[in-house]
Amino acid sequence: MSTSWHEEIERAYAELERSQEAIAQVQRDMSDRRVTVTAPNRALVVVVDASGTVVDITFPTRAYRSMAGPELGALLIETIAEARQRATDELASMFSALLPDSMPIADLINGTTDIDQMINEGMRLIRDQPGPPSTGRG
């Protein structure tokens, strides 16, 4: 005899609780996560948090003093972009272990996923699933 509908619900609920705890752990890990990127010429160092927010910029050498304003600006933009991309990659890696392989986690983080389309597809999949077995009552 196959498992009952009640057992399936219990199993799904237990899996949901495990997933919620794993997500909570990732969130705790994220709160302390920092990504540090040094510019190729070592003129500056950028630190971002897990969300990509710049939390520190330092100039460990005096190299920036000999740079033209536009050159320093371009280096800042490039280094910040790299730090943010690394933070996004780390965040995607942390969450990818929790989500289905088909979940476009990097696209979700970058904001390039159509959330409405994803929800509609999920709803379609749910609708296409067979329901509980009929009890014969009616």
- For the cut 80, the answer to whether the pLDDT of residue 109 exceeds it is no
Q: What is the pLDDT of residue 103?
A: 64
27-98 carries CATH number 3.30.1310.10: yes
pTM over 0.85: no
Domain ranges of the chain: 27-98, 101-129
* d(C-alpha 22, C-alpha 39), whole Å: 34
Give 35's contacts (C-beta < 8 A, 6+ positions apart): 47, 48, 49, 50, 83, 86, 87, 90
Say whether 136 sits in a helix, a strand or coil.
Answer: coil
- How sure is the predictor about 90, in pLDDT bands with cuts at 50, 70 and 90? confident
What pLDDT is stored for residue 86 in this prediction?
Answer: 94
Average pLDDT, the chain: 82
